[in-house]
Amino acid sequence: MNVPNRPYDVLLLDFGGVCLLTPFELHRYLETQLELPTGSVTWMGPFDPSTDDLWRELFASDSLREREYWSRRAALVGESVGRSMTTADYARILYEPPRPELVRPGATRVVADALAAGLGVSVLTNDLRAFHGREWEKSVPLLQQVDHIVDCSDTLILKPDMRAYQRAITFVGVAPERVLFVDDQPLNVQGAADFGMAAVWFDVTDAEQSWNEVATHIGL
């Protein structure tokens, strides 16, 4: 596949954060669901690292990875309401049932435009099925529109491991340099670049502008 006058043939997207709202953006919804006082969940990750010691630790050393960050956050949320809580439990509270407002408008727009322009669009995610499950996945229209969902939950070989990117390339069937990869985690962006893909960092704190930049990169 080669799209005339386009710099890339495939748009390869992370899902959580890039396409799906982050848990940070759903704190007020979480408080409502758990009957917590409004404003009681104060850690804001990339939106305000000064409020979030675990987020700062995630970027300060190799001792904490993103999966562990969310596992610990889920456990702390559970403690606040006196119960045990896994990351999957936490995700169910925030994201079930699937609903349109959970998906970023920019994702819906750019994916549709890219597909209409003849580009391939696929997802490379670390945690989709681990956090949400296959039935949830089937209920999200955006995920039904893309060509491939390459979920590292299936193999436990996670980004930024080079084998994760190689697996994605096997699915999409084009050379790495013909792929634009988009992720909100700098380590994953660097991993894709090291593998030979064009890779851009997605700023979740300015998501719609980030989607505008993605559209520009792919010539839309």
Cis bond upstream, residue 97 (ω within 30): yes
pLDDT of residue 4: 64
pLDDT interval class at 2 (50, 70, 90):
low
Cβ 165 vs Cβ 192: under 8 Å: yes
Cα 131 from Cα 133, distance rounded (Å): 6
How does DSSP classify residue 175?
A: -
- In 3D space, the residue among 58, 92, 59, 56 whose CA is nearest the CA of residue 74 turns out to be 92
pLDDT of residue 47: 97
Q: What is the mean pLDDT of residues 32-50?
A: 97
pLDDT single digits (tens) 195-215: 999 999 999 999 999 999 999
pLDDT of residue 64: 84
| pLDDT(61) > 80 | no
How does DSSP classify residue 103?
A: B
pLDDT single digits (tens) 67-117: 999 999 999 999 999 999 999 999 999 999 999 999 999 999 999 999 999
pLDDT of residue 22: 98
Return all residues near 152 (Cβ < 8 A) that are at least 6 apart.
124, 125, 126, 127, 158, 159, 164, 167
| pLDDT(122) > 90 | yes
**DSSP letters for 127-159:** SHHHHT-HHHHHT-HHHHHSSEEEEGGGTT--T
Cα 67 from Cα 204, distance rounded (Å): 18
| pLDDT(11) > 70 | yes
Cβ 18 vs Cβ 29: under 8 Å: no
Token digits of residue 151: 């979920």
pLDDT of residue 3: 57
| pLDDT(126) > 60 | yes
| pLDDT(50) > 60 | yes
pLDDT interval class at 62 (50, 70, 90):
confident
**DSSP letters for 12-29:** EE--BTTTBPPGGGGHHH
pLDDT of residue 214: 98
Cβ 190 vs Cβ 200: under 8 Å: no
Return all residues near 86 (Cβ < 8 A) that are at least 6 apart.
71, 74, 75
The overall average pLDDT reported for the chain is: 95
- In 3D space, the residue among 60, 79, 66 whose CA is nearest the CA of residue 22 turns out to be 66
Q: What is the mean pLDDT of residues 119-143?
A: 95
Token digits of residue 7: 């710099």
pLDDT of residue 100: 95
pLDDT single digits (tens) 175-189: 999 999 999 999 999
Beta strands in the chain (DSSP E): 10-13, 120-125, 148-151, 179-183, 198-201
Backbone Cα Rg of the chain: 17
